Structure 1
Amino acid sequence: MQNILQPPMPKSWRRETKPHKFCPGCGHGIALKALGQAIDELGLQGIAVFGCDIGCSLLAWDFFDLDTVQTHHGRTIPVMVGLKRARPELICIAYMGDGGGYAIGAQHLVNAATRNEKITAILINNTQYGMTGGQMAPTTLPGQKTETTPYGRDPEITGYPTQGPEMVAAITDERAYVARGTVARPGQLREFFKRALQNQIDGRGFSFVEVISACPTNWRTNAKETWEWVEKLMPTYFRVGELKVPEALRGKGVEVKDGETS
């Protein structure tokens, strides 16, 4: 009976570190499970290297049974780029939050994308800085209350939410893979991760996946409110789907029609 009730874990997970260290209701666990499943299905455990940023993503430092490196805040992409250039046979995964990718690390994201560095970057978007108490982040929604926007974010003062995948899609060439998934659709998210990793396996180019995620701790939301935020509100600003797919990946896995993912 115990085996029947035991939830299946990806083989690439490090079992002795579970349950994980993330807050209850956090979306990181769902995203990392989808990533683990993608790694398993592609048989990458022996050659994949996982790099994680400072912030909530640092709690993934012992998540996988993979070679792992924790970097300085915002520097995960250049660390993984350096590793990939030194050891091109490795599959290098840079995992970060929206602060690490769109704020302090924005220059690294932009330059790695324009140089078509052959790594896979995954960015978790939960609309605020989670680990430091819920301050406004580049992805904070208009009107959203945070520790530093107690009356709601005013776009006239602080601008609008960063559209990361749209930016990356605009500055990369046709060999890049760019998508935005959501923890509300873990099966679809797994397929996006697989295609992003396959693009690196094939030596084609830069791969970037943003993940719409949840932070009920700092949002101060219950389960129902959290899921409405993830499923209904966030996608009105952050369109879910594949934004750029190399020709060689088309027709494999997830299909895209009229800019949306089926």
Structure 2
Amino acid sequence: MAIAVQPQMPRVWRLETKPHKFCPGCGHGIVLKALGEAIDALGIQERTIFGCDIGCSLLSWDFFNLDTVQTHHGRTTPVLVGIKRARPELVVVSYMGDGGAYAIGAQHLVSSAARNDLVTIIVVNNTVYAMTGGQMAPTTLPGQKTETTPYGRDAGLTGRPILGPELVAAIAPPGAYVARGSIANIVQLKNFIQKGLQNQVEGRGIAFIEALSSCPTNWHTNAAATWRFVEEEMTAYFPIGEFRTPDEKPSGRLREVPPRGL
């Protein structure tokens, strides 16, 4: 007799919208599950506002039983900052991809970090503009082939990939929380996101979490190659860890965290 095992899902999930709309193998669902578990752990569902932008992240607009707003590409952070200033008791989450954060939205990210806005920003880094066909993005790795770099990204012509957490950690005032996690370690990623939400709840400052993610559809990779790219090639350029915690001053150095699986 077969035993049906009911998977444990975050209470904040909107069950009628599952299975989700992301491509098979996409990492967005894992990142969003980590966010949902963090919201559950803190018990902040009733006062959390979720914002997403145009890009693959827009498919999360009905993911949660939360008040949600979708914004123009790259404009999620200033919209959520406005909500937070109008309603300081709310907890606001700005969710976007690397294009929305580091390209068209870069000026908003820099300004928000400099002001130490009380928002929690989550950026999903999959190294490509995924929704529009897999073009080179601000995070495309040197030598990586995309639709617009068929021979591999030439860093001498296009520059090197943007290091988002390092950028925010360098300019944010004391009180900020900055980290980079990966879908390869959902427990660690969830802890980073929970710390980021807690930082906002306690009124300490901005929280910024980047999540290394997968896009086999545009990488043209099978399961093994996809996981290898996330765990080996991406982490070789984008180190995992906490870059700023609210109880320490900016140092420009990565703060080490326990290894994967802990």
TM-score in terms of structure 1 length: 0.95
Tell me by how many angstroms 1:113 deviates: 0.4
Q: How does 1:5-154 map to 2 (within 5 A)?
A: 5-154=5-154
SS at match of 1:124: strand
Deviations 1:176-223 (A, max 9, x none): 000000000000000000100000000110000000000000000000
Distance 2:42 2:254 in 1: 28
Letter in 2 for 1:206: I
Identity %: 65
CA separation of 1:105 and 1:2: change in aligned 2, threshold 3 A = farther
Distance 1:224 1:64 in 2: 30
SS at match of 1:247: coil
For the aligned residue pairs, the C-alpha RMSD in angstroms reads 1.4
Distance 1:61 1:3 in 2: 33
Tell me by how many angstroms 1:174 deviates: 1.5
Distance 2:99 2:254 in 1: 30
Tell me by how many angstroms 1:261 deviates: 1.1
Aligned to 1:254: none
Determine which of 249, 254, 257 is the counterpart of 1:261: 257
Deviations 1:155-177 (A, max 9, x none): 01000000000000000112100
CA separation of 1:258 and 1:124: change in aligned 2, threshold 3 A = closer
Q: How does 1:153-192 map to 2 (within 5 A)?
A: 153-192=153-192
Distance 1:4 1:193 in 2: 31
Distance 1:87 1:4 in 2: 44
Letter in 1 for 2:167: M
- Name stretches of at least 5 consecutive residues in structure 1 with no aligned partner: 249-256
Aligned to 2:211: 211
Tell me by how many angstroms 1:45 deviates: 0.6
Letter in 2 for 1:216: P
Letter in 1 for 2:194: K
SS at match of 1:63: coil
Distance 2:39 2:13 in 1: 10
Out of 2-11 and 113-122, give the one that drifted further.
2-11
Tell me by how many angstroms 1:259 deviates: 2.4
Aligned to 2:231: 231
Distance 1:143 1:75 in 2: 30
Aligned to 1:252: none
Tell me by how many angstroms 1:139 deviates: 0.1
Distance 1:235 1:258 in 2: 13
TM-score in terms of structure 2 length: 0.95
Matched pairs, number: 254
Distance 2:92 2:205 in 1: 12
Deviations 1:207-246 (A, max 9, x none): 0000000000000000000000001110010000000001
Q: Kindly indicate whether the alpha-carbon contact (under 8 Å) linking 2:244 and 2:255 is maintained by their aligned counterparts in 1.
A: no
Distance 1:3 1:57 in 2: 35
CA separation of 1:222 and 1:85: change in aligned 2, threshold 3 A = same
Distance 2:59 2:148 in 1: 24
SS at match of 1:73: coil
Distance 1:140 1:197 in 2: 28
